[in-house]
Amino acid sequence: MRRTTVKAALAGGEGPGAIRVMGWVRTRRDAKGFSFLEINDGSCLTNLQVVVDEGVEGHDLLPELGTGASVAVSGELVSSPGKGQRFEVHAKKLELLGPADPESYPLQKKRHSDEFLRSIAHLRPRTNKYGAMLRMRAALGQAVHAYFAARGFAWVHTPIITGSDCEGAGEMFRVTGLTDAEAALPPKERAEKDFFGKDAYLTVSGQLTAEPLALALGKVYTFGPTFRAEHSDTSRHAAEFWMVEPEMAFADLEDNMDLAESLLKSLVRTAMNDCAEDFGLFAKYVDPTLPETLAAFVAEPFVRLPYKEAVNILCAAKKDFAYPVGPGLDLQSEHERYLAEEHFRRPVIVYDYPRAIKAFYMRQNDDGETVGAMDVLVPGIGEVVGGSAREERLDLLEARIRELRLPLAAYWWYLETRRFGTAPHAGFGLGFERVLMLVTGIGNIRDVMPFARTWRHLEF
Ligand code: 4AD
Ligand code: MG
């Protein structure tokens, strides 16, 4: 008897024969003389239908095989006469592995709200929607690696514990090994007493350590968790999220835009083509416009627009924004979404932002006012990618660090990469969850991660 999965059984590649398959009961229907079980083991969206005739071994267990119970079925895989499935199993033997009391099992066969499902994040992966999301998340993660491997990028592992604030926004979680008493010491003493002998944090980005690696290996990328202590309780911010950060030596802002556009399109194609069954669920139940929107996403070039022109468009817009727009002001998410959703109705790359509102490492343009920064804005979400050309000129970088009153000495190693064999380079960070929101139509970042960590929420 072959042990198999629901996915393999339904695909029928192995042909008919005796199989053993295990999974969770989604539904049971009893008829005269026989029962149907729909079982799912998480390997794919579709359930496997099991026909249980009266008298098969374990038939007496049927009353306990309700929604949520786990079961092992041994039987014969046969072509199905029913519509919608090629194969079904005629059970020879049923084993109850784990019962689920129907009175208290929270996932009954009906549609539950996202809010309710968030409160049972340990069980929601057993629903169709979250199962599909998690399989797509896995497939897209693999696709990130395949994309870069095919283009000669080395995957590098940058530290999660850091002493420096890459973005300079000061939104970092402190990492400490101190006792309460030691933590109450004055800052300098406290830092000296701590594990590293200095203040330590969870990183907000792998970029600063990815740069020296790119300036050695040429093309690298990181793909891992990052952390932000932003107090933004929005549908697009998580305290812990995954970022893909490529970094390329001998590259400029245009190379960076090309890479971001190509990577995003490639991930969207993976979602539509390689995850067709799960994608179909999102297109049917979450956002019916998804196939059309995403087909246009991959077919058309992204708009590329200097910040200055973006501001002109926003100032001319007949729209009441909550936040002001104007030269020198940062774009808020309502402005980003207006550009992508209403004005252009497709992805927009805004570039050449005012230097005053951007991080210290961005390459200064000749106009003395702007830096070679870029953000990719997409309809429905806003920013999914943020990146820049990096300041590779030692004197300009040093001057900028001083100007911003950042601790110059702490950046000695970063500056040395400019002192010795510096080279133009560029990179960006792609928010992995935001891409998942894009390809599933799911509107809340809490629902594209298995166990979300957000402002005021640390359950599970
Ligand atoms: O624009 P950000 O802050 O860029 C950086 O951190 C650069 N150091 C990246 C680089 O150049 N290597 O963040 C990059 C992306 C954003 O565009 C967004 O998609 C995502 O990370 N992101 C978040 N996603 C979820 N929750 C949050 N709190 C996020 N903050 C940023
Ligand atoms: Mg950004």
Annotate 348-385 with DSSP letters as a single string.
EEEEEEEGGGS-TTBPBPTTSSEEEEEEEEETTTEEEE
Write the residue with the smallest CA distance to atom 9 of ligand 1.
Answer: 429
Report the share of the chain in percent with pLDDT over 90. 93
Atom of ligand 1 nearest to the CA of 388: 11
Residues sharing a CB contact under 8 Å with residue 49, sequence separation 6 or more, in sequence order: 36, 37, 38, 80, 82, 85, 88, 89
User: Can you tell me the distance from the alpha carbon of 263 to that of 193, in angstroms, rounded to the nearest whole number?
Assistant: 44
What gap in Å lies between CA 390 and CA 395, rounded to an integer?
A: 13
**Which pLDDT score is estimated for 13?**
66
Task: Tell which one of 166, 172, 201, 243 to mutate to probe ligand 1, the residue whose CB is within 8 A of the most ligand atoms.
Answer: 243
**Neighbour tally for 271: CB within 10 Å:** 23
The residue whose CA has the least distance to atom 18 of ligand 1 is 431
Alpha carbons 261 and 317: distance in angstroms, whole number: 26
H or E segment at 73?
strand 70-79
Q: Pocket of ligand 1, candidates 201, 205, 257, 445: which has the most ligand atoms within 8 Å of its Cβ, to mutate?
A: 205
| 263 Cα to the center of ligand 2, angstroms | 17
First to last CA, the chain: 38
Pocket test for ligand 1, best of 166, 434, 446 (most atoms within 8 A of CB): 434
Look up residue 171 and give its amino acid: E
Cα(67)–Cα(104) distance, integer angstroms: 11
Kindly report the average pLDDT of the chain as a whole number.
96
Q: State the helix-helix crossing angle for 253-269 and 290-299, rounded to 10 degrees.
A: 140
Is the pTM here over 0.95, yes or no?
A: yes
Spatial distance between the Cα atoms of 22 and 96, rounded to a whole number of angstroms: 10
Residue-wise pLDDT tens digits, 140-181? 999 999 999 999 999 999 999 999 887 877 799 999 999 999
pLDDT per residue over 404-433, tens digit each? 999 999 999 999 999 999 999 999 999 999
Residues of the chain with pLDDT > 70: what percent?
Answer: 100
CA dihedral over 134, 138, 144, 146, signed as positive or negative: negative
How does DSSP assign 159-222, residue by residue?
-SEESS-SSSS----EE----HHHHTS-HHHHHHHSTTSS-EEE-S-SHHHHHHHHHHHSEEEE
pLDDT at residue 138 tops 90: yes
pLDDT of 100 strictly over 80:
yes
Atom 25 of ligand 1: nearest residue by CA position: 237
Give the number of residues written for the chain: 460
CA dihedral 124, 126, 128, 134 (to 10 degrees): 80
* Residue 196 confidence class, pLDDT cut points 50, 70, 90: very high
- Strands 219-227 and 154-155 come out as parallel
Tokens 């979450």 -> residue: 286
Q: Is the pLDDT of residue 262 over 90?
A: yes
CA of residue 9 to ligand 1 center, whole Å: 41
**Lowest-confidence region among 11-20, 104-113, 121-130, 261-270:** 11-20
Q: Across residues 246-270, what is the average pLDDT?
A: 98
Ligand 1: which residues within 6 Å by Cβ?
A: 166-167, 205, 207, 228, 230, 237-238, 241, 243, 245, 383-387, 427-429, 431, 433-434, 445
DSSP annotation string for 397-460: HHHHHHHTT--GGGGHHHHHHHHTT---EEEEEEEHHHHHHHHH----GGGSSSS--BTTB---
Residue 365 CB-density burial (10 A; 0-12 exposed, 13-18 middle, 19+ buried): middle
Neighbours of 218 (CB within 10 A): 17
Name the strand (E) or helix (H) holding 292: helix 290-299
DSSP 47: P
Give the Cβ contact number of residue 286 at 10 Å: 16
pLDDT at position 73: 98
pLDDT greater than 90 at residue 50: yes
Q: What angle do CA 116, 121, 127 make, to 5 degrees?
A: 80
Residue 310 has pLDDT above 90, yes or no: yes
Number of the ligand 1 atom closest to the C-alpha atom of 383: 17
Name the strand (E) or helix (H) holding 261: helix 253-269
**How far apart (Å, rounded) are the C-alpha atoms in residues 21 and 154?**
39
Q: Is 209 exposed, middle or buried (0-12, 13-18, 19+ CB in 10 A)?
A: buried
Report yes or no: 107 and 122 within 8 Å, Cβ to Cβ: no
Q: Read off the tokens for 149.
A: 């491997």
